[in-house]
Amino acid sequence: MKIRKGNKSKRITKAVAFVIVSAFTFSLLHLFTVSALAQKNEHYNSPLYSPRKYDPSVDTSVGLPEALKKIGIEQKLGEQLPADAVLRDENGRDVQLGSFFGKRPVIVAFVYYECPMLCNQVLNGLTGSLKGISLDAGKDFDVVAISFDAREHEKSDIAKSKKAGYMERYGRPGTENGWHFLTGTQAELDKVTNAAGFSYKWDEKSEQFAHAGGIMITTPEGKLSRYLFGIDYSPKDIKFGVMESSNNKVGSAVEQLLLYCYHYDPSTGKYGVAVLRIMRIGGIATLAAMGLMGFVFWRRNKAKSEKSGKVKEGKG
């Protein structure tokens, strides 16, 4: 009876190991096959990409293009944002940037409202993180989104629509006065972006702005106290950043992992952050973890089988 149970256990172990290895192999092959087929005639419908078809058989270049070498976010901790910069709010009224200072910390996000790629993810990530903390906009801090696209200066309806969408996403009634969506002329925008260390560049071929993703936190007086990069911000980091900024504390520079908003078009050799590539890397990492788990499971059961066999031999 024990021998039968032992054989049955071995068969189950082998079956499980076979299923895990088979699933791992199939998934890996499927991942690369889909990737290869998709690259031949891929049409991006993602909001992170503008629609475009391309043929990868055309020779492409590697590395960062010149556009991305000239953009980024320089941490200017302790620097003052220009209080006299005149911008326009979502209601079409001209306001000075300094009108948002003097009461509480300000979270600043440089975006442009018609961005087809990263900007929505910056605001989505910020809003999601703010929902995860107990502090309230309009009471403990203000959120100021600034469009760096001067063409949107005469489109106050876009800013108004953006605010309405993110107020609904934030889901905290009564906090409307803590959210501000601004536009400006090129001269005024240059004053603010230069002071914040935010550089960007218009690319004629892709017809979109190349820029990096991130947010900044200022003290109540408007001095830059903290930078957070990317599109996913830890609620804890934002909460501590706001609390420290409220006490006029300026944080230290952090390591930059810049996420660029820039279209990748292999037919022209242009490079940007390919979100699909990041997803594929994540998929490969997951599959590798599955394979490792299957191997550990197999080795463990093999060791048990060998130990059981030695015990039986000893009894014999």
Q: For residue 58, which of 271, 205, 206, 267 has the smallest C-alpha distance?
A: 267
Angle between helices 156-170 and 119-131 (to 10 degrees): 30
List the structure tokens of 136: 């309230």
Alpha-carbon torsion 107, 110, 113, 115, what sign?
A: negative
The yes-or-no verdict on residue 73 having pLDDT over 70 is: yes
CA separation, residue 103 to residues 53, 134, 237, 256, 275 (Å): 49, 19, 21, 29, 38
Percent of the chain at pLDDT > 70 equals 62
CATH code of 66-261, in short, is: 3.40.30.10
pLDDT band at 290 (very low <50, low <70, confident <90, very high): confident
pLDDT per residue as tens digits for the range 230-283: 888 889 999 999 999 999 888 666 544 444 444 434 334 343 444 445 555 666
Return the bridge partners of 144, or none.
108, 180
Predicted pLDDT at 210: 79
Q: For residue 159, which of 95, 97, 112, 90 has the smallest C-alpha distance?
A: 90
Q: For residue 193, which of 41, 287, 311, 76 has the smallest C-alpha distance?
A: 76
For residue 121, the Cα-to-chain-centroid distance in whole angstroms is 6
Q: For residue 99, which of 110, 84, 111 has the smallest C-alpha distance?
A: 84
Please state the pTM of the whole predicted model: 0.62
Return the bridge partners of 124, or none.
none
| Domain extents in the chain | 2-51+274-315, 66-261
Predicted pLDDT at 19: 55
- Give the strand order in the sheet containing 208-212: 201-203, 208-212, 260-261
The yes-or-no verdict on residue 53 having pLDDT over 70 is: no
Predicted pLDDT at 65: 54
Q: Please tell me the least confidently modeled range out of 6-15, 85-94, 273-282.
A: 273-282
The 3-class SS string of 161-191 reads: HHHHHHHHHHCCCCCHHHEEEEECCHHHHHH
| Average pLDDT of the residues in 42-71 | 44
pLDDT per residue as tens digits for the range 90-106: 999 999 999 999 999 99
Predicted pLDDT at 268: 40
Q: Please tell me the least confidently modeled range out of 39-53, 72-86, 168-182, 290-304.
A: 39-53
Predicted pLDDT at 269: 38
